[in-house]
Amino acid sequence: MKFKSVAAATLAVATLFGMSACGTSNSADDNTIVFWHNATSGDGKQYWEDFAKAFEEKNPGVTVHIETIQNEDFEGKLTTAMQDPSSGPDVYMALGGAKTKDMVDAGQAMDLTDKISDTIKTQMASSLSSTTYDGKIYGVPVTVQPGGIWYSKDLFKQAGIGEVPTTFSELKDAVKKLRSAGIDPIALGGKDAWPAGHWYYWLSLRECSTDAYNKGVNEKDFSDECWTKAGEDLQELADMDAFNEGYLTTTAQQGASSSAGLLANHKAAMELMGTWEPGVLKDLTPDKQPMADLGFFAFPSVDGGKGEAGALMGAATGFSVNPEAPQAAIDFVNFMGEKEWQEKYATAFSTIPASVEAYDVVADENLQQIIEALNNSDDMKLWMDTALGGNIGNALNAGIVNMLSGQGTPADIVTAMKDAAAKG
């Protein structure tokens, strides 16, 4: 499951409170906060319980009512509840990208521009762009999760690969060496569509100039040839047998036979994923321990591509406030930005905090590499399907799978996006 929230890949069983709590958030009293998130189990669920308790202790008389909702159910429940803000939660995990923009336009998210703390403004300055729309801030980010390629150091060594690829040509050379050594080069969970989509997203980011990419995502202008070229690059990988056998019917992150399971059990050498990958792999290794030889490298540049060098793409999870919520809800999201709780969040979710002041708590060497990449990049784009919104994003992912299954062409991917954009 792609983290349309940062560590969703580590989350499992839903724990829903009685629905009588829904709809009472803003009509109850100014000292009650209804809070929705999707960390339904484990350390993440415990983090939010500890966080709420600490907030209540700091704010005597305030009560935080938590509702944990399974990731796959979250969007539907939230959009339904917020059709009438008076019946929705006071604080909720933002959906991100065009979906949050739709909620902003519908008056379902509070403008926090003049309400967030100085701590957030300074320590989260770079990540606030993920919750900013039309120059106004509509959420407090808690983590950023750029993607990249995770790999088995042992399998690379076995195939005679001494250095990680930094260009697309070098990646293709690595694929050839791995295949020659009898190793599936790239694990891909094509059944879930979005993992295949990730390859196209990244190749587009590398092929397209910043202007062309922004026109595509923001203005739905896909006229530049780079959008077709990205599909041709992906087709080239497929034609050279880069992916695991049966990748179109392979799931992404559920069980040993999933794409993540193939990497965790050394059945494939690489997988393109976000920073939730180490936590997912840990649950799929034979001993349920972190994958000992796991490595990470940034998505390679594309020879002749016009994309910004080192440009990143990923998820940014933030929390928004209901426009009808009390002041306590604003204080609640500001509390999320405090260094102590950013550090605890990073530890609980095994991720990168949004606050630069909390980076030091990240001990995983792969995540440290990603932090270095963040520090060297001016911006991080949201996952393309998230940024485009549900209609175009779904059409994009379907077009990519169709091409890989022999039912379409690179040009058809672009056509699918154009057609979806035309429908609105």
List, for residues 109-131, the tens digit of each pLDDT value. 999 999 999 999 999 987 888 89
Stretches where the chain sits below pLDDT 50 are: 1-27
Pair (195, 266) in one structural domain? yes
The answer to whether position 12 is within a domain reads no
Amino acid at 262: L
Q: Are residues 194 and 322 in the same domain?
A: no
* The pairing of beta strand 312-321 with beta strand 140-146: antiparallel
In a domain, 25, yes or no: no
pLDDT at 28: 53
pLDDT for position 376: 77
Based on the fold, state whether residues 233 and 189 are members of the same structural domain.
yes
Other Cβ atoms within 10 Å of 422 Cβ, number: 9
**What digits encode the pLDDT tens for the residues 289-326?**
889 999 999 999 999 999 988 889 988 899 999 999 99
Asked whether residue 119 is assigned to any structural domain, the reply reads yes
Same-domain check for residues 164 and 290: yes
The reply to whether 291 and 414 lie within a common domain is yes
Q: 248 and 326: one domain?
A: no
| Terminal CA-CA length for the chain | 27
136-137/132-133 β-pairing: antiparallel
Of 15, 32, 22, the residue nearest 88 (C-alpha)? 22
Q: Which residues contact 273 (CB under 8 A, 6 or more apart)?
A: 147, 148, 150, 195, 198, 260, 280
For residue 9, the model assigns a pLDDT of: 31
Q: Is 174 domain-assigned?
A: yes
What CATH number does the domain containing 132 carry? 3.40.190.10
pLDDT at 403: 97
* Count of structural domains, the chain: 2
pLDDT of residue 299: 95
Which of these, 363, 366, 227, lies nearest to 298 by C-alpha position?
366
Residues 163 and 298 in one domain: yes
Same domain, 186 and 283: yes
Residue 23 lies in a domain: no
Q: Look up the domain containing 368 and give its range.
A: 33-145+315-382
Contact 301, 166 (CB under 8 A): yes
110 burial (CB, 10 Å; 0-12 / 13-18 / 19+) is: buried
3-state secondary structure of 181: coil
pLDDT of residue 15: 31
State phi, psi for 397 to the nearest 5 degrees.
Answer: -65, -40
182 and 309 housed in the same domain: yes
Same-domain pairing of 157 and 296: yes
Q: Which long-range contacts (CB under 8 A, 24 or more apart) does 286-294 make?
A: 291/152, 291/263, 291/264, 293/152, 293/153, 293/154, 294/150, 294/151, 294/152, 294/153, 294/366
Q: Is residue 7 part of a domain?
A: no
CA distance 307 to 402: 26
Q: Tell me if 9 is assigned to some domain.
A: no
> Does residue 2 form part of some domain?
no
Interatomic CA distance for residues 167 and 310, integer angstroms: 11
H-only helix segments in 267-309: 277-282
In a shared domain, residues 368 and 392: no
- Check whether residue 398 and residue 418 sit in a common domain: yes
